[in-house]
A and B are shown apart, each in its own frame.
Chain A
Amino acid sequence: MSLTTAHSVVAPSANSKRIAGAIVVGYALISIVPLLWIFATSFKTPPDSIAYPPKIVFQPSLEGYCNLFTTRTRQTPEYINSLGPATGLCDETVRKRNMVIAGPSNFLPRFVNSLIIAFGSTFCAVFLGTLSAYGFSRFKVPLADDLLFFILSTRFMPPIAVAIPIYLMYREIGLSDTALGMILLYTAVNVSLAVWLLKGFIDEIPREYEEAAMIDGYTRLQAFWRTVLPQATTGIAATAIFCLIFAWNEYAFAALLTSGTAQTAPPFIPTIIGEGGQDWPAVAAGTTIFLVPILVFTILLRKQLLRGITFGAVRK
């Protein structure tokens, strides 16, 4: 009797590979269609965007982007004709709708707010998270388990439950509607995630590395900086992405605590709808631009992100 078998027990068969592939492709399509829809809508004209049946093929237009970045006033055709030739593409586009550009919209400052607050809070959360995770991982911290549970428990409550007390507190101490206030808030929320994720990563780095460095003449901080940090970059990158995604997408706190100068993009984008009819292309344009930073960041760090999701599953 021969001991060779037709196929390996461990390797998946061709059929199961095909099924797995179909599921992945199907899931990818389902997840990507809304994104494609938003992307397409951002290049439609307002009538095209609400046409029924929906237009798959359409004449692309930059009207959505023009409307997103500008505020406009309605004028009589006579007045518009009395103006000189259009000064740019957007000017020309809005004139067709009997409007003139009155000035820049708030989108750009809101978008910049989002960048400052999201990246700022991510940096703070990862910085504090790395240091605390290292501490929890390497030192005998009294009540370490209880402290870690307490840190985790700060995430148990839905944001909306603490939003009102925080709102009152922030108004009292002057942090309401400031970028600093939002950075502190998102840092506080994210630091729990950062500590837990990073503790897992740092636990995996053998402490012999720092011990070797400390014996070789380095202080603990130098040893941490030169031997632990370089090896924790994967974990730090994964943690940073998770923190950034949270801070970037956060809506509830932002809607309640920011209204003017520190408002971020998520609460701002819905307000575009209201002015002069439902301007879906402008909303879609805002959403598209809003997606870009996180998309770039995620693509750049996708390997680390994957490792962040599966960490602990496979031991080195």
Chain B
Amino acid sequence: MAEIRVQNLRKAFGEFVAVQDSNFVVEDGEFFVMLGPSGCGKTTTLRMIAGLELPTGGKILLGGEDVTMRRARERDIAFVFQLFALYPHMNVRKNIGFPLLAQGMASAEIRARVEETAKLLRIDHLLDRSVSGLAGGDRQRVALGRAIVRRPKCFLMDEPLGTLDTEFRDLMVHELRELHNRIHATTVYVTHDQMEAMSMADKIAVMNHGVIEQFGSPREIYDRPATMFVADFIGSPPMNFLRFGGGLARGAKEIVVQGAKVTVPEVREDVAPADMALGIRPEHIRFDDASKLRGAIYGTEYLGTTQIVAVETADGVIKARVPAGIHLTPGEQVGLALSSARLSLFEKGTGRAVRTAMHDQAAEARHG
């Protein structure tokens, strides 16, 4: 196993820049997820780490070794494709043993290793079956088997659950994470599904338009989004934004949104006057008639334990997640109370988050 270090990685296809100056480090044994909408450059980044594409600029280090321009087969990595790429003309055993064959391993040893791997993935009963007859989850396991049988430096996975049914997908998310916990293989996992990312990752990089918008743990990314894109992309429903104007001064603890004063985490930097946005997660909104921030109930979505309530405010519809027990009727006027400690502030033009006490507390918690 090895750490993966990506430095100023860049890839351009003619005029189009797919990946712009990416920097990140995947530590040894970490489960790293690249998350983003399609076309954001996450798969291109993965393919560059694999050696299937060569970068336009930058460096890739695998276990401290510069492999930027090495051939894929010289990198000692394993790749799980979205469509699994199981060879239809070979049975399960041959598929799993295929990478070992390339190393010229003796057939008895291949046999033993394949069986050991199959046992690990609980597919030892399928070894002599043809891959074309397998169910989605089993195909996935065979693809994983082919990846882990060689004990490579790291695993790269390109939306490996993308084609599975929801039912299998949940199961495989669990299995993948469990497998990772057992073998501790450095893993880079690409997905557009935030639920997969949140439930499996040690670290997430959120990408958009070829740029890494934020790199951090799932909790950091959810609680302290670095940009409005991240805030909007993560969370279902996504973070609400309320516009407000004027600059911010270091030490400010209050802003004015739609005529209502809102207490926010203490601002830790000066921001020149510009269009700003207040970011609120739906679960950080309560209904409180005393609040000056008001809106009319627009619709509700019942989810069992909670309900998502759309509230029409002067600045568009925002969504709140409130206990399912509260009875609400459309058109009803409500006051919105916000959990002050959990609010984010953004510069609207750049989408960048403003540094507040929330960030510093997190940093203190990490280091202390």
Contacts and interface: CB of A to CB of B under 8 A. Distances in A.
Interface string B98-123: 11001100000000000000000000
Interface in B1-46: none
Given A211-B52, A231-B89, A219 B73 contact: yes
A215 B52 contact: yes
A76 B1 CA distance: 96
Interface stretch (B80-88, B206-214, B321-329): B80-88
Nearest to A210: B85
B293 interface: no
B89 A215 contact: no
B81 A211 contact: yes
A230 B71 CA distance: 24
Contacts of B146: 212, 216
Contact of B102 (A208, A211, A216): A216
A209 interface: yes
Given A215-B73, A217-B150, 20 more contacts: A206-B83, A206-B85, A208-B82, A208-B83, A211-B72, A211-B81, A212-B85, A213-B98, A213-B102, A214-B73, A215-B52, A215-B72, A216-B78, A216-B99, A216-B146, A217-B73, A217-B103, A218-B73, A218-B102, A231-B89
Interface residues of A, number: 16
Question: Which of A208, A213, A215: most chain B Cβ within 10 A?
Answer: A215
Contacts of B99: 216-217
Contact of B85 (A209, A217, A222): A209
Contacts of A206: 83, 85
A227 interface: yes
Contact of A227 (B51, B52, B77, B87): B87
B215 interface: no
B40 to A, nearest CB: 20
A195 to B, nearest CB: 24
A230 B89 contact: yes
B88 A231 contact: yes
Question: Which of A206, A211, A212, A227: most chain B Cβ within 10 A?
Answer: A212
Nearest to B84: A208
Contacts of A217: 73, 99, 102-103, 150
B79 interface: yes
A216 B81 CA distance: 13
Contacts of A218: 73, 102
A209 B52 CA distance: 12
A211 B85 contact: yes
A215 B154 CA distance: 12
Nearest to B156: A215
Interface of A is mostly: helix
Contacts of A231: 87-89
A220 to B, nearest CB: 9
Given A215-B50, A216-B146, A209 B87 contact: yes
A219 B89 CA distance: 19
Contacts of B83: 206, 208
Contacts of B81: 208, 211-212
Interface of B is mostly: loop
A216 B152 CA distance: 9
A216 B87 contact: no
A215 B87 contact: no
Interface in A92-109: none
A216 B89 contact: no
A216 B143 CA distance: 12
Interface in A190-226: 206, 208-209, 211-219, 222
Nearest to B51: A215
A209 B88 CA distance: 10
B105 to A, nearest CB: 10
Contacts of B82: 208
A219 B102 CA distance: 9
Given A208-B81, A208-B83, A216 B88 contact: no
B150 A216 contact: yes
Contacts of A209: 85, 87
A215 B77 contact: yes
B72 A214 contact: yes
A212 B88 contact: no
B85 to A, nearest CB: 4
B200 to A, nearest CB: 22
A208 B158 CA distance: 11
Interface in A171-196: none
B144 to A, nearest CB: 13
A222 B103 CA distance: 13
Contacts of B102: 213, 216-218, 222
A8 to B, nearest CB: 27
Interface in A111-168: none
Contacts of A215: 50-52, 72-73, 75, 77-79
A237 to B, nearest CB: 14
Contact of A211 (B75, B79, B150): B79
A216 B78 CA distance: 7
Contacts of B71: 214
B184 to A, nearest CB: 21
Contacts of A230: 87, 89
Contacts of B51: 215
A217 B51 CA distance: 12
Interface string B125-147: 00000000000000000000010
Contacts of A222: 102
A212 B72 CA distance: 9
Question: Which of A211, A217, A218: most chain B Cβ within 10 A?
Answer: A217
Contacts of A219: 73
Nearest to A206: B83
Nearest to B95: A212
A208 B85 contact: yes
Contacts of B88: 231
A208 B52 CA distance: 10
Contacts of B50: 211, 215
A211 B53 CA distance: 11
A206 B102 CA distance: 21
Interface string B51-77: 110000000000000000001110101
Chain A to chain B: the 4 pairs with minimum beta-carbon distance, closest first = A217-B102, A216-B99, A208-B85, A230-B89
